[in-house]
Each structure stands twice: as C-alpha cells, then as structure tokens.
C-alpha cells in the first residue's frame, strides 16, 4: 500500500530503534513516563488489512495545532514503527511550528521517525486531501470541529485508520455524517477512535466501571461541571479577511467550534453519559447566555450553560459549564445512586464512592503514572497491530450530539428531544470556504431564535 519512496526507513535503521531507545524517548517527552509498549508486529501478529507486510505505520497529521502536535508525539511514542509521513493545515506557520516541535521532541529519533519533506507538507482548506493521499496508514484528525465529519469521511473512504479529536461535529448534519462513516469504517475494519481521552484514564475507568457495575446502586441523578476561565482572543489584524479572523478566534464562533458546551464541556457530558451506561436521553432543557464576553473576537458564543437531560424512568442528569474569568473553576462529576454517591475529578484527582451516610466506601488506589493521552494512543495502535481496530466513533457521536442538543435548547429557549436533535436540518458549516467575507448569525436570543 505504501508509495515507493526513498525516505522509507531502511530495515537496519528500524532495527536500530531498540526498546531501550524507545523508552528513553518516551520518558523524555513531558508527561509520558510509563508509556506502554506495543512491540513491532512479528509474523504471527494479525495485522490490519492496510498495514499488512510492513513494520512501519505511516501517519498523516491533519490540523497541526496544540492538540494535533501532542497527538502526533503520542502516536510516535505508542509504537516504534510509527513514522510521521505527511501534514496538512490551513495555515503554513501552524504546520511549520508543529513540525519543529515534533522533531525537537523526538530528538535523536527525528530523522527516522519524522519524514515530512516539503513535498508532503500541505496547506489550505483542502490540505487534508493530499495529506491523506500521501500513502499513509493512519490519519490523526485534529483540526477544528466544524471540519471533522468531512476529514473523517475522506480518510475512511481512502481506507485509513483514524484518530479524531472530540467533538465529532458542531451540528446534527455533521453527527449524522459521522455515524454513517463510523459504520463504513466498521465494515472495512478500520479504526475510528474519538479523543474522549478520559475514557482512557486509569482512575476514571476504574471509577466508572464501579458505577456501571452497581456499586452506588441505580443512578438517580448526576451533575457534571466544566467551569473555567475564558479562552484567549486574537485581535483582528488589518490583513485578515472575515474568515481568517473567525478561524483565528475559532473557539468563539459557533459554526467552527459548536460553542464551548460542545467544544470543551463535551468531555463532562461524555462522562455523564458514561455514568448512565451511555443511555440516550429523551430530551434536554438548557439555559444559557452571555454575561461577560465582549468584543468582535468573542464571536457569537455564549459563556454559560445549564442543561437538564431527562431519561426514560425519570433520571435527570444535569450539566453546567461556564467560561468566565474571575469565577471558581470546577470540573467534577457528582453522581447519586440508590445506595450512595460517587465523586469524580480528574483535575484534582478524586475517584471515590460514598454510602448514603456520606462515609467513603471506596477510593481509587491503582496506578496513576500513565498519561491518558498516551494511553489512548497506545491502545489505538495496539488495536491496529492486533487487527482488531478500536471504533468508538458512534459513541463519540452520541456524546457530541448530547452537547449539541443542549446548545440548541439554550439558543432557542425550548426543550429539544433526542429525535429532534438527531433529525434537525441544522447545518452550520458552509460546503466550500475561501478566505474573504464571511457573515455569521448574531448572538442567539432564547425565546426568539428558532431551531432549524
Ligand atoms: N481531548 C482533549 O483533551 C483536547 C484538548 C485540546 C483540544 N482538543 C480538540 O482538538 C481540536 C483542536 O484543538 P487545538 O487546541 O489543537 O486547536 P489549535 O487551534 O491549536 O489547532 C487546530 C489546528 O487545526 C488547523 N485546522 C483547522 N481547520 C483545518 C482544516 N479544515 N484543515 C486543516 N487544518 C485545519 C488550524 O489551522 C490549527 O493549526 C479541537 O476539536 C479541540 O476540541 C481536545
């Protein structure tokens, strides 16, 4: 499947990459101590169809920002056969700084593991196509949420394994597309891992396993929080078009990010869903607005939301999120069952259950030395090597839609059912984009804005 290319790592160089070297580099990479090792596949190891016969796994990075750069380093550390082969980003300088950062982090191994000559560096809105078509096996899709469904579809159509960041989309049309693509990926035995990284955190996994096995009884109510300060703003430069201005301030524009309940707080909404065994809510009522955001850079996003999901049988699940400076931060899941409660916080590690008298009944005491981002990539690449690629994209789409339906409810001031959200005609992302004028809707007004 690979292009014949003189830059392919020679077997000798590959062999020279010893386990010791690999561990050294892994540990040298900030926060990556304790990385699990997936050995190079031997002859007896089953291989995913499109990497059969090669110890190399070539990857493309599409979206070379903060998360993409991190994900790429984690992919390189997950398996000694991984080679960064191509890169695509809308902006040339983002690609350049990402490539520099990855090469510096890989240190001595950069020559062998980072093989991205100028001919495999692509920029612009369509850069994902040549980057994916460059003869790679796996694509890391880490651009803005608006573009995720398109990038994911293209990669799976081209028979690539995928790691894609959360959220999977910003609107219903995107979610439906991702669900369809996830089915296609399954039929082709291709990986589709969504970056809900807390699902790969040791303490979280142990705690949610306990909750799902009935340790606190039947879940009666839960409240997840994602309260932080605001995200940065980039003042407009005279040379920027409307579209470039929005792309540079992407968190604040609903059509690009989905708003912060979708872009950021979706992690907490995902964990709330995890606590219910990933049940589908019947509907959501969500309050929200903008109290402290000002200026054109703040686009049309809200700065606070409070969502109440209702489930069959009466369960109510609450989620609140806020991005306002000067207010206390919190990112906790408070889960209440018929036999007790659980408190889960990954920021200030808290993984515990209590009985109905509020006495602690269990506290996580397992390993806490693994970086969840590294673990998710270790698991992904191992699954590809093993020929049983992880595909959790449908679940990722489910959590993303839960966040999207809450935004729809907050913007309109109406209850939104799961079916309404799943079937909504709302489609926020233009089919084609060119730098130039780019109108966008005004701030939503609950009670006045209408659902598509
Ligand atoms: N799982 C996590 O904990 C976590 C953490 C941070 C970010 N994220 C997610 O990762 C994604 C990226 O976030 P980030 O913080 O890296 O943002 P960023 O702005 O640092 O980087 C995104 C990069 O993608 C590029 N890009 C955007 N659209 C593109 C397109 N159509 N084609 C090619 N390149 C494109 C941008 O130019 C930019 O360089 C977001 O969805 C975000 O929610 C997840």
Q: What angle do CA 391, 395, 400 make, to 5 degrees?
A: 125
Cα diameter, the chain: 68
Q: Which residues of 184-209 are buried (b: 16+ CB within 10 A; e: fewer)?
A: ebeebbbbbbbbbbbbbbbbbbbbbe
Residues 116 and 84 in one domain: yes
The pLDDT of residue 123 is above 70: yes
Q: What is the mean pLDDT of residues 68-87?
A: 98
Residue 298 belongs to a domain: yes
Question: For residue 377, is it within any domain?
Answer: yes
Strand order of the sheet with strand 350-355? 360-363, 350-355, 340-345, 332-337, 219-228, 316-323, 304-310, 283-289, 416-417
CATH of the domain at 316: 3.30.360.10
pTM of structure: 0.90
Arithmetic mean of pLDDT, 339-351: 97
146 CA from centroid of ligand 1 (Å) = 10
Same structural domain for residues 18 and 64?
Answer: yes
Is the minimum distance from the CB of 197 to ligand 1 under 6 angstroms?
yes
Is there a contact between 170 and 258 (Cβ–Cβ < 8 Å)?
A: yes
How far is CA 229 from its chain centroid? 20
Q: Does a structural domain hold residue 435?
A: no
Q: What is the pLDDT of residues 41-62, one digit of tens each?
A: 222 223 344 564 468 999 999 9
Residue with tokens 């612009």: 124
Nearest CA to ligand 1 atom 8: 67
Is the CB of 316 inside a 6 Å radius of any atom of ligand 1?
Answer: no
In ligand 1, the atom with minimum distance to the C-alpha of 95 is: 39
Are 115 and 191 within one domain? Answer: yes
- Is residue 34 over pLDDT 60? no
Q: Is the pLDDT of residue 8 over 80?
A: no
- Percentage of the chain with pLDDT > 70? 88
Pocket of ligand 1 contains residue 62 by CB under 6 Å: yes
Residues 322 and 403 in one domain: yes
CA distance 414 to 405: 10
Q: Are residues 28 and 139 in the same domain?
A: yes
Tell me what percent of the residues of the chain surpass a pLDDT of 90: 87
Ligand 1: which of 61, 89, 197, 250 to mutate, judged by most atoms within 8 Å of the beta carbon? 89
Q: Are residues 362 and 378 in the same domain?
A: no
Which spans in 308-392 are helix H? 372-385
Which residue minimizes the CA distance to atom 33 of ligand 1? 89
Ligand 1 pocket test, candidate residues 66, 67, 122, most atoms within 8 A of CB: 67
* CA dist., res. 343 & res. 320, Å (int): 16
pLDDT at 451: 87
Q: How many domains does the chain have?
A: 2
437 domain-assigned: no
Question: Which pLDDT belongs to residue 452?
Answer: 81
Is 392 near ligand 1, meaning CB less than 6 Å away?
no
Q: Cα–chain-centroid distance for residue 255?
A: 17
Q: Are residues 234 and 251 both part of a single domain?
A: yes
**CATH code for the domain of 87:** 3.40.50.720
Quote the ligand 1 centre to 218 CA distance (angstroms). 38
> Do both 247 and 379 map to the same domain?
no
Q: What is the distance in A from the centroid of ligand 1 to the CA of 304?
A: 22
Q: How far is CA 442 from the centre of its chain?
A: 27
Residues 225 and 336 in one domain: yes
Claim to verify: residue 172 and residue 306 sit in the same structural domain: no
Protein residue with least CA distance to atom 19, ligand 1: 65
pLDDT value at residue 96: 98
Neighbours of 231 (CB within 10 A): 17
302 φ, ψ (degrees, to nearest 5): -80, 170
Reference 318, options 451, 220, 419, 432; nearest CA is 220
Q: Is the domain of 224 the same as that of 294?
A: yes
The CA 140 to ligand 1 mean position distance, Å, reads: 11
- Cα four-point dihedral sign 40, 42, 45, 46: positive
- Note down the domain range covering 94: 11-198+373-391
257 Cα: distance to centroid of ligand 1 (angstroms): 10
239-258 pLDDT per residue, tens = 999 999 999 999 999 999 99
Q: Calculate how far, in angstroms, residue 156's C-alpha sits from the geometric centre of ligand 1.
A: 20
Lowest mean pLDDT among 51-60, 92-101, 241-250, 411-420: 51-60
Residue 362 lies in a domain: yes
Q: What is the rounded average pLDDT for all residues in the chain?
A: 89
Query: Has residue 433 been placed in a domain?
Result: no
340, 379: one domain: no
442 belongs to a structural domain: no
Answer yes or no: is 446 within a domain. no
């Amino acid at each position: 499947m690979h292009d014949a290319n003189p830059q392919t790592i020679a077997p000798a160089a590959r062999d020279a990459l010893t386990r010791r070297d690999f561990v050294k580099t892994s540990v040298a990479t900030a926060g990556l101590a304790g990385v699990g090792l997936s050995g190079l596949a031997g002859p007896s190891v089953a291989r995913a169809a499109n990497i059969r016969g090669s110890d190399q796994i070539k990857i493309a990075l599409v979206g070379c920002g903060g998360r993409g750069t991190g994900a790429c380093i984690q992919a390189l550390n997950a398996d000694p056969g991984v080679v960064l082969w191509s890169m695509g980003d809308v902006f040339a300088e983002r690609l350049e700084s990402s490539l520099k950062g990855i090469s510096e982090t890989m240190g001595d191994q950069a020559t062998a593991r980072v093989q991205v000559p100028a001919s495999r560096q692509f920029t612009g809105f369509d850069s994902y196509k040549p980057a994916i078509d460059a003869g790679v096996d796996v694509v890391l899709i880490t651009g803005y949420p608006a573009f995720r469904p398109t990038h994911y579809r293209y990669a799976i159509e081209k028979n690539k394994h995928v790691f894609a960041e959360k959220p999977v989309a910003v609107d219903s049309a995107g979610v439906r597309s991702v669900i369809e693509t996830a089915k296609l990926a399954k039929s082709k035995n291709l990986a589709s891992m969504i970056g809900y990284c807390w699902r790969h955190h040791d303490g979280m996994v142990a705690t949610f396993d306990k909750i799902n096995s009935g340790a606190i009884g039947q879940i009666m109510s839960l409240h997840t929080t994602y309260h932080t300060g605001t995200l940065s703003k980039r003042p407009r430069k005279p040379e920027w078009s409307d579209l470039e201005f929005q792309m540079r301030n992407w968190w604040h524009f609903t059509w690009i990010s989905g708003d912060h309940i979708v872009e950021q707080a979706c992690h907490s909404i995902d964990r709330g869903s995890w606590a219910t065994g990933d049940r589908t809510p019947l509907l959501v009522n969500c309050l929200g607005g903008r109290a402290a955001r000002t200026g054109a850079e703040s686009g049309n996003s809200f700065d606070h939301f409070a969502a109440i999901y209702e489930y069959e049988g009466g369960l109510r699940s609450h989620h609140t999120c806020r991005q306002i400076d000067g207010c206390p931060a919190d990112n906790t899941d408070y889960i209440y069952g018929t036999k007790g409660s659980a408190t889960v916080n990954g920021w200030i590690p808290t993984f515990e259950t209590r009985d109905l008298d509020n006495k602690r009944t269990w506290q996580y005491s397992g390993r806490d030395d693994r970086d969840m981002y590294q673990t998710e990539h270790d698991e992904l690449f191992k699954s590809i090597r093993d020929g049983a690629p992880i595909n959790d994209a449908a679940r990722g789409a489910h959590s993303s839609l839960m966040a999207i339906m809450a935004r729809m409810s907050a913007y309109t001031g109406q209850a939104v059912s799961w079916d309404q959200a799943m079937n909504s005609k709302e489609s926020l992302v233009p089919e084609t984009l060119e730098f130039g004028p780019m109108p966008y809707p005004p701030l939503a007004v609950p009670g006045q804005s209408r659902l598509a």
